[in-house]
Amino acid sequence: MSAKILVSTDHVTVRFPRPGAPDLVASRAVSLHIATQETLGLVGESGSGKTTMGRTLVRLLTPSAGTVWFEGKDVTHIHGSALMRYHRNAQMIFQDPFASLNPFHTVGHHLARPLARLRHLKGHERQEALDELLTLVGLTPSAVFREKYPHELSGGQRQRVAIARALAGGPSFIVADEPVSMLDVSLRAEILTLLESLQERRGLSYLYITHDLASARYLSHRIAVMYGGSLVEIATAEELVQAPAHPYTRLLLAATPGSPHKGPLPETMQGAPDLSADRIGCPFAPRCPSVMDQCSQVMPELKAVSPSHQAACFLNT
């Protein structure tokens, strides 16, 4: 795997205004990077800011502060034709294959549009590229599948169409937003294997968003953990699973079937994280079994636990 950084963020913050109340901060000063042909798993429960970060990286959202870099170029505020060119390189696979496809259009239509819009293909060239995409994701014979409508497909087939659509522009970077969470258990391994195969064949980099540490460990080279809009831990997949350094990561592992850390959940309370702009301190402090006085007053910085492992927790200082 190459060490060249393909996409990165520098202190990216995404705020959503609320009338008469402090803004919601879905992503708070998040800095991360993804190398070429690397998969970075982004893990956390609902409301942690994972999807916000994914949408920001492909510039479906514009950050309120901070910078998004792609191949060393600032793409934070690009628009128009520059944004269109970026979308040839950066695409997204959405979580719900039922909602991400228009029920009134055929599979062929869903793929023909990005082929025309992003690669400017016409006629026979576009038809060949369309059939190649369907074959690539295992939907054969392509002549049959391109005439089908979404309601005629299984959930796994719909997600394969969504993957083919993301590949249509020829991207080097794909955000996969919980691509298997809406599928039957029997189909999840097939889709993960397909993503892994496509990475090898196309040289892709992934941001793999999930709440499932087991699948993140399978697919990812490194794993980043988010809670309450903040990045709280990042390490190689193996090190994070074997030696978690943040109490929230330990909590996630304790709830993961088959984990060596599986056991009672040592939470002091339950509830959604506080995303308000006026929040201070560590977002996990209200739930943390190891909370200290300073945790509610100061947000700990990410600090090295080992050369390939960082955690934002005062327990590690």
Burial of 159 (0-12, 13-18, 19+ CB in 10 A): buried
Mean pLDDT of the 125-148 span? 95
Across 286-311, b (16+ Cβ under 10 Å) vs e yields bbbeebeeebeeebbebeebeeebbb
Mean pLDDT of the 155-165 span? 94
Does residue 2 carry a pLDDT above 50? no
Beta strands in 75-197 (DSSP E): 90-93, 173-177
For residues 256 and 213, the answer to whether their CB atoms sit within 8 Å is yes
Identify the pLDDT of residue 99: 86
Burial of 275 (0-12, 13-18, 19+ CB in 10 A): buried
Reported as a pLDDT band with limits 50, 70 and 90, residue 268 is low
Domains held by the chain: number: 1
Identify the pLDDT of residue 98: 81
Identify the pLDDT of residue 38: 97
Both tokens assigned to 183: 């599928």
Mean pLDDT of the 32-54 span? 95
What is the strand order of the sheet 65-70 is part of? Answer: 21-35, 5-18, 65-70, 73-74
The range of the structural domain enclosing residue 100 comes to: 5-316
Reported as a pLDDT band with limits 50, 70 and 90, residue 1 is very low
**How does strand 309-311 pair with strand 230-236?**
antiparallel
CA torsion 39→45→47→48, rounded to 10°?
-50
What confidence tens digit (pLDDT) does each residue in 85-115 have?
Answer: 999 999 999 988 788 889 999 999 999 999 9
What is the strand order of the sheet 90-93 is part of? Answer: 90-93, 173-177, 205-210, 39-43, 222-227, 230-236, 309-311, 303-306
In CATH, what number is assigned to the domain containing residue 33? 3.40.50.300
Identify the pLDDT of residue 212: 87
What confidence tens digit (pLDDT) does each residue in 18-33 have?
Answer: 998 889 999 999 999 9
Does residue 165 carry a pLDDT above 90? yes
Name every residue whose Cβ is closer than 8 Å to that of residue 89 and which is 6 or more positions away in sequence: 70, 71, 169, 171, 172, 173
What confidence tens digit (pLDDT) does each residue in 203-237 have?
Answer: 999 999 998 888 899 999 999 999 999 999 999 99
Residue with tokens 């800011």: 49
Determine which of 12-26, 244-258, 300-314 has the lowest per-residue pLDDT on average: 244-258
Residue 179: half-sphere exposure toward Cβ, Cα within 13 Å: 32
